[in-house]
């Protein structure tokens, strides 16, 4: 069935619902990796004479496995799911907005361009960047609150609304909910690279295919996300630093720009510090993007088949009404005498 016949295009909201549902499911499955990579990225590497602790819970993590063990020991298994509700709300809303606007801008681009060929790689990246920027404007406050929940200790952690109020009551006021906005706008290149690479790989490896098998979508999604993560990891680390509580060495003074975060990391940890947490970051990206695209492809296919069925039912009803009207007209017409 997949790829056997050309499938209809979904409206923007159909692609948005499919992408959002796939993202929520994928992130729920691998959420502990999100906690681990965030805590690894926010901590400052210790030196032999350093007494600075990880602001999350006075622990320092040497690896992803060490982080998992220490989080479970300190907080139990629920500690691996801290801030999950806010994170999934953020993931769902961000991906809904992204896929909606990506479908809109891509359709407009294809409608008004003169060539019939598929968009170039540069065009795909630009379309993804525009969609990502629009999505970020509306959804970044949820990311700020979630990051704050993930990087404070258990006894400091509050609910979603309370954490949001804490951010608003800080020195930044309401603008604190948009901390890291510039970094987030720069980071739209991540989904742009991801989905641009996905489209290009799909057209190259599976030319002419309108629907992919689950494992095919998974592999393409994982490959495209890996490329995007490696390219943008320093910006991801800087964004986490902007949105979390400042490290002890800052004496409570928050970072103002992602350039300031990157400078602080390089001074204390060297250039490799900009890539800390890349292991769980790539693993999370591989799994999330793989599951996301696999689920999205299936949900889109279900929508297409549902729309096709509804159109068929509607056509049958209209045909019955037309036949009934014709029958009434025939019975009520004049009697012809030879």
Segment 244-273, tens digit of pLDDT: 777 777 777 778 777 888 888 888 888 888
Does residue 300 carry a pLDDT above 60?
Answer: yes
- Residue 8: its pLDDT value, please? 56
Nearest to 291 by CA among 214, 203, 205: 214
Q: What is the mean pLDDT of residues 161-183?
A: 76
Top pLDDT among 65 and 289 is at: 65
Q: Any residues with CB less than 8 A from the CB of 280 and at least 6 apart, and which?
A: 33, 36, 37, 40, 64
Contact yes or no for 61/39 (Cβ under 8 A): yes
- Residue 2: its pLDDT value, please? 38
- 59 falls in which pLDDT band (50, 70, 90)? low
Q: Any residues with CB less than 8 A from the CB of 285 and at least 6 apart, and which?
A: 222, 225, 226, 228, 229
Length of the chain: 338
Share of the chain above pLDDT 90, in %: 0
Does residue 224 carry a pLDDT above 80?
Answer: yes
13-43+59-313 has which fold?
A: Mitochondrial carrier fold (1.50.40)
Residue range 5-21, pLDDT digits in tens: 334 567 778 778 888 88
Does residue 74 carry a pLDDT above 60?
Answer: yes
Does residue 58 carry a pLDDT above 50?
Answer: yes
Share of the chain above pLDDT 70, in %: 87
Domain ranges in the chain are 13-43+59-313
Distance set, CA 145 to CA 49, 71, 183, 238, 273 (Å): 33, 20, 16, 16, 24
Top pLDDT among 21 and 336 is at: 21
- Residue 138: its pLDDT value, please? 75
- Residue 12: its pLDDT value, please? 79
Query: Taking the CB of residue 228, how many other CB atoms lie within 10 A of it?
Result: 24
Does residue 30 carry a pLDDT above 50?
Answer: yes
Residue range 311-328, pLDDT digits in tens: 888 888 888 888 888 877
- Residue 57: its pLDDT value, please? 47
Query: Taking the CB of residue 172, how many other CB atoms lie within 10 A of it?
Result: 15
- 233 falls in which pLDDT band (50, 70, 90)? confident
- 3 falls in which pLDDT band (50, 70, 90)? very low
- Residue 1: its pLDDT value, please? 36
- Residue 54: its pLDDT value, please? 52
C-alpha dihedral over 60, 64, 65, 68, to 10 degrees? 70
Nearest to 129 by CA among 106, 112, 149: 106
């Amino acid at each position: 069935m997949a790829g056997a016949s050309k499938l209809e295009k979904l409206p923007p909201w159909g692609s948005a619902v499919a992408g959002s549902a796939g993202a929520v499911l994928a992130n729920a499955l691998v959420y502990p990796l999100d906690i681990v990579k965030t805590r690894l990225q926010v901590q400052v590497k210790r030196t032999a004479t350093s007494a600075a602790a990880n602001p999350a819970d006075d622990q320092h993590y040497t690896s992803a496995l060490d982080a998992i063990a220490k989080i479970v020991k300190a907080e139990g298994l629920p500690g691996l799911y801290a801030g999950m509700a806010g994170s999934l709300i953020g993931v769902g809303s961000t991906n809904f907005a992204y896929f909606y606007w990506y479908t809109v801008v891509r359709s407009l681009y294809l409608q008004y361009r003169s060539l019939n060929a598929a968009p170039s790689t540069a065009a795909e990246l630009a379309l993804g960047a525009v969609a990502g920027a629009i999505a970020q404007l509306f959804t970044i406050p949820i990311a700020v609150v979630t990051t704050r929940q993930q990087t404070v200790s258990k006894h400091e952690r509050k609910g979603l609304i309370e954490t949001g109020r804490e951010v608003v009551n800080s020195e930044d006021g309401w603008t604190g909910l948009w901390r890291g906005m510039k970094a987030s706008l720069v980071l739209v290149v991540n989904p742009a690279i991801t989905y641009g690479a996905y489209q290009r790989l799909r057209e190259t490896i599976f030319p002419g295919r309108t629907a992919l098998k689950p494992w095919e979508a998974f592999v393409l999604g994982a490959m495209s996300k890996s490329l995007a993560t490696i390219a943008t990891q320093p910006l991801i680390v800087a964004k986490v630093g902007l949105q979390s509580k400042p490290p002890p060495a800052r004496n409570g003074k928050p970072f103002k720009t992602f350039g300031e975060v990157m400078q602080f990391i390089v001074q204390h940890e060297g250039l490799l510090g900009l890539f800390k947490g890349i292991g769980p970051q790539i693993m999370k990206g591989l799994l999330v993007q793989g599951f996301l695209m696999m689920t999205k492809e299936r949900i889109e296919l279900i929508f297409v088949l549902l729309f096709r069925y509804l159109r068929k039912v509607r056509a049958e009803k209209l045909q019955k009404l037309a036949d009934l009207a014709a029958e009434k007209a025939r019975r009520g017409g004049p009697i012809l005498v030879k």
